[in-house]
Amino acid sequence: MEVPGLAHNITSPLSPCEGMIKDLSLDSIQLCERDGSKSQDGSMEELPVPQNIKISNITCDSFKICWDMEARSKERITHYFIDLNKKENKNSNKFKHKDVPTKLVAKAVPLPMTVRGHWFLSPRTEYTVAVQTASKQTDGDYAVSEWSEIIEFCTADYSTVHLNQLLEKAEVIAGRMLRFSVFYRNQHKEYFDHAREEQENRMLPSVKDNSGSHGSPISGKLEGIFFSCNTEFNTGKPPQDSPYGRLRFEVQADALFNPDTNLYFGDFYCMYTAYHYVILVLAPKGSTGDDFCKQRLPALDIGNNRFLTCKQNEDGSLVFHHAQDVILEVIYTEPVDLALGTVEEISGHQLMSLSTVNAKKDPSCKTCNISVGR
């Protein structure tokens, strides 16, 4: 059973900073101090302390919790106090609202109960939880048990349901499609020298960084090589500026993107600017990367989507288009031989301010956020 107020017909409560906490019944959900409130008759010892706490059915913004209790005074329990805290570490989501309450009061309901709420649960984040049983007194005060042991757990990544919500938001602003013919990747001279000398003339996949949405299931897990394909509107060619290095590898689009390739939507985000980024994944059918994405990401029709298309002409040739109004970051999941393309120096500047390496998503942007943990 779900926590009253948190999940009884309220599956996604809004942030308290949006003024919605007053709409929840005080008997359904309350905020409490960590120390609880003892009754004047000193009956704390009479209430059973929750034991053997178990957390299950964890999602990016919910979890189920249950525990064992001794039979003594069990009938007196009217409420449960749940103390939920983010486990602090150097990689914690610093952009989560810091004033969000995490001390909850729920009516005593049959266990397990579901705790759900995007304004106090972030995806892929470690939390600690402890529980207290309580008995509401006639004077409104509470008699409470000792706190239980503290349990740690980590919330999950975005599910495909959440990613489809991001996908729909990205489609709204993608804009018209422009034709392109090459994928390109900028890096420093040392990168390409290493590929030639140590990697048999190949660029090898590496684990994706933590840029983008905090709940993205590909961050820190999917291995691939980042490519770009956006072109300048006035020339139809790749821009001559880049934040990633002065040397550019260019490869014909059909070498990476063709009918034997699957295309997946990976993420949609911005970095406190007007620019929005869409991450797409290209995975050869049957590859390890393809198997990874099939289980986690929405698949796109390569010939009919709003971001990146590959269509076949009557003569059998392939034609490619990309969305104009978003910046596409394309991850190719397999090694790429440098012999498939060319490496040349760009004529423009290295604009470091445009780098998205480990870039954090703006949690306040209404264009690219959904109503779950950021």
Is the pLDDT confidence value at 362 over 90?
no
Q: Which of 56-60, 143-147, 257-261, 269-273 has the lowest mean pLDDT?
A: 269-273
Residue 192 backbone class (left: φ over 0; alpha: ψ -120 to 50; beta: rest): alpha
Question: Of the candidates 154, 159, 214, 160, which has an alpha carbon nearest to the alpha carbon of residue 369?
Answer: 214
| Angle ∠(241,324,301) on CA atoms, nearest 5 | 120
Is the pLDDT confidence value at 22 over 50?
no
Residue range 106-122, pLDDT digits in tens: 899 999 999 987 667 88
Question: Of the candidates 292, 330, 275, 281, which has an alpha carbon nearest to the alpha carbon of residue 157?
Answer: 292
Is the pLDDT confidence value at 178 over 90?
yes
Please, which pLDDT band fits residue 165 given cuts at 50, 70 and 90? very high
CATH number of 51-155: 2.60.40.10
Is the pLDDT confidence value at 23 over 80?
no
Is the pLDDT confidence value at 340 over 90?
yes
Provide CATH 2.60.40.10 ranges for the chain: 51-155
Average pLDDT rounded to a whole number, residues 302-310 = 98
Is the pLDDT confidence value at 221 over 50?
yes
Q: What's residue 244's pLDDT?
A: 86
Q: What's residue 264's pLDDT?
A: 98
Residue range 75-105, pLDDT digits in tens: 889 999 999 998 865 444 433 434 344 678 8
Distance in angstroms (rounded) separating the CA atoms of residues 287 and 50 = 47
Q: What's residue 118's pLDDT?
A: 64
Residue range 235-286, pLDDT digits in tens: 888 888 888 888 999 999 999 999 999 999 999 999 888 889 999 999 999 9
Q: What's residue 239's pLDDT?
A: 86
More confident site: 2 or 82:
82
Q: What's residue 28's pLDDT?
A: 37
Distance in angstroms (rounded) separating the CA atoms of residues 186 and 317 = 27
Q: Which of 18-27, 56-65, 186-195 has the lowest mean pLDDT?
A: 18-27
Is the pLDDT confidence value at 372 over 80?
no
pTM for the predicted model, two decimal places: 0.79
Percent of the chain with pLDDT over 70: 80
Most confident of 72-81, 117-126, 329-338: 329-338
Q: What's residue 292's pLDDT?
A: 97
Is the pLDDT confidence value at 33 over 50?
no
Query: What radius of gyration do the chain's Cα atoms show?
Result: 26
Backbone angles phi, psi at 241, to 5 degrees: -105, 155
